[in-house]
């Protein structure tokens, strides 16, 4: 039962833990499953052998005893369903935790990814200065709603779950943006996530690859 | 065991079936579960009573016997796990079908949503004409990869699953864009999805709300 995941040979974030393998490493650390990592280059990710595992040429993939999975959300859901520690046992809280996984990936993360894409691909364009505040406002709207929900809860819905793992991972992308300054309860929530021993181990493991 | 979902009182797409309640209606039709619909206005969606069910003020929500779920992906996963018809029984194909749900929502749909957002919020901006082809190219890249994976398979990974339901629902958003013209196997795949009796019933039900 060896688990192997793929990760960037050299992560574009230089080891800040934002590449999506960190999320899978964190999940595996939370449930106490050892894993191996196969590093892939940007060139290899676009070649047929890799595309047979991951049709979109992305990391991470997950392999275990002949099962091949892709999409970080699906990989983490699979880990959480197979091992205790990331989902409540009772059906209703379990379904709610999954809803928060989807909310992180589908409602909170897309405008954040768009802002990053604009920073990279449109920084030199004449419209960038006018467009960036529009992108920021989309993110702020979601952060205000999330902050209102969280209130003074420690985690999104009861005990720490895969939903929190994903939400914290998404919010990490905003750490240097200043956008969390207006939502102190989310900044504190993010800090609680980063402080988990399993996260620290995952972060250190990805960093060891990228900052040798 | 009454299932109640929410939907727009008046859908912004005028009944073309692109609002996300159609995806949940389709899933419920595939598994043969009756459901009731509560229509909500844009105003009501932003009020505290609704935000207690759906923290981001979106449709659909799903309620059944005290369980409240949000996020279309989570709702469909819940339906698929509780009823036969949308996920294979064997664990590995089941995990793969879920991977395709996440791929539809997290890899294929975001650039499509971005294109739609630009069409609405940036149509009058001086940069729109230069930016639109950039958005189109992001979508085309994903469509080419998806097309290469699909090849001459009827569905993405074995029998029709929740992964196909989600992918077809996402591709429907491109129907009038012309972007499917270069990928005839995806256009045929989309048509196979639309031809399913469960989809037709779901489409008709949402249309009856919006085109009285």
Mean pLDDT for A169-175 is 97
Taking only the tens place, the pLDDT of each residue in B53-99 is 999 999 999 999 999 999 999 999 999 999 999 999 999 999 999 99
Collect all residues from A whose CB is shorter than 8 A from any CB in B.
51, 55-58, 66-75, 77-78, 92, 95-96, 98-99, 101-103, 105-107, 110, 113-114, 121-122, 125-127, 130-131, 134, 142, 145-146, 148-149
Cα dihedral B153/B171/B163/B184 (nearest 10): 0
Taking only the tens place, the pLDDT of each residue in A202-212 is 999 999 999 98
Q: Angle at which helices B21-31 and B72-82 pack, to 10 degrees?
A: 0
Taking only the tens place, the pLDDT of each residue in A115-126 is 999 999 899 898
Cα–Cα–Cα angle for A167, A170, A173, rounded to 5 degrees: 145
**Has domain A91-196 been given CATH number 3.80.10.10?**
no
Chain B residues whose CB is inside 8 A of the A75 CB are 99
- The mean predicted confidence, pLDDT, of chain A is 96
Query: Alpha-carbon distance B20 to B170, whole Å?
Result: 10
Report H helices in chain A. Answer: 21-31, 42-45, 48-51, 72-82, 91-102, 109-121, 128-150, 162-171, 184-194, 197-210
Query: Alpha-carbon distance A186 to A198, whole Å?
Result: 20
**Is the distance from CB of A97 to CB of A84 less than 8 angstroms?**
no
Mean pLDDT for B132-153 is 97
Q: A3-86+198-207 falls under which CATH superfamily?
A: Glutaredoxin (3.40.30.10)
CB spacing of B113 vs A110 below 8 angstroms: yes
Task: Say what the pLDDT of residue B212 is.
Answer: 80
Count of helices and strands (H, E) across chain B: 10, 4
Mean pLDDT for A94-121 is 96
Res. A68: pLDDT tops 90: yes
CB spacing of A74 vs B142 below 8 angstroms: no
Task: Say what the pLDDT of residue B144 is.
Answer: 98
Res. A58: pLDDT tops 90: yes
Mean pLDDT for B22-32 is 98
Name the DSSP letter for residue A56: T
What's the ipTM? 0.96
Q: Mind telling me how many Å the CA of B52 is from chain A's nearest CA?
A: 8
Query: Alpha-carbon distance B28 to B58, whole Å?
Result: 19
* Residue A94 structure tokens: 């379990």
Res. A171: pLDDT tops 80: yes
- The mean predicted confidence, pLDDT, of chain B is 96
HEC assignment per residue over B72-123: HHHHHHHHHHHCCCCCCCCHHHHHHHHHHHHHHHHHHHHHHHHHHHHHHHCC
Task: Say what the pLDDT of residue A167 is.
Answer: 98
Mean pLDDT for A72-80 is 98
Q: Where are the domains of chain A?
A: 3-86+198-207, 91-196
Q: Closest partner residue to A57 among B58, B92, B145, by Cβ?
A: B145
Task: Say what the pLDDT of residue B98 is.
Answer: 97
Mean pLDDT for A158-162 is 97
Query: Alpha-carbon distance B111 to B131, whole Å?
Result: 13
* Residue A62 structure tokens: 């997950």
Asked if omega into B6 is within 30° of 0 (cis), the reply is no
Task: Say what the pLDDT of residue A212 is.
Answer: 80
Share of chain A above pLDDT 70, in %: 100
Nearest chain B residue to A96, by CA? B69
Res. B178: pLDDT tops 80: yes
Query: Alpha-carbon distance A14 to A45, whole Å?
Result: 18
Q: Of A11, A36, A106, A92, which is closest to residue B71 (Cα–Cα)? A: A106
Query: Alpha-carbon distance A30 to A23, whole Å?
Result: 11
CB spacing of B125 vs A127 below 8 angstroms: yes
Task: Say what the pLDDT of residue B92 is.
Answer: 94
The reply to whether B91-196 shares the fold of B3-86+198-210 is no
Query: Alpha-carbon distance B135 to A65, whole Å?
Result: 39
Task: Tell me the residue ranges of DSSP E strands in chain B.
Answer: 3-8, 36-40, 61-64, 67-70
Give the class (CATH, top level) of B3-86+198-210.
Answer: alpha beta
């Amino acid at each position: 039962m060896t688990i192997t995941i793929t990760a960037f040979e050299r992560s574009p974030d230089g080891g800040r833990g934002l590449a999506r393998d960190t999320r899978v490493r964190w999940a595996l650390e939370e449930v106490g499953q050892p894993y191996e990592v196969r590093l892939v280059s940007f060139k290899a990710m676009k070649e047929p052998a890799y595309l047979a595992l991951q049709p979109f040429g992305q990391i991470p993939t997950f392999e275990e005893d002949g099962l091949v999975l892709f999409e970080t959300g699906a990989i983490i859901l699979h880990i959480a369903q197979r091992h205790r520690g990331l989902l409540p046992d009772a059906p209703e809280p379990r379904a709610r935790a999954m809803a928060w996984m989807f909310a992180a990936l589908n409602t909170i993360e897309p405008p954040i990814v768009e802002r990053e894409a604009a920073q990279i691909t449109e920084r030199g364009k004449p419209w960038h200065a006018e467009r960036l505040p529009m992108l920021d406002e989309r993110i702020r709207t979601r952060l205000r709603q999330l902050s209102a929900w969280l209130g003074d809860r420690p985690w999104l819905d009861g005990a720490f779950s895969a939903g929190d793992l994903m939400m914290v991972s998404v919010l990490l992308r905003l750490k240097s943006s200043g956008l969390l300054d207006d939502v102190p309860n989310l900044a504190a929530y993010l800090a609680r996530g980063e402080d988990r021993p399993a996260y620290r181990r995952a972060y250190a493991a990805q960093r060891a690859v990228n900052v040798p």
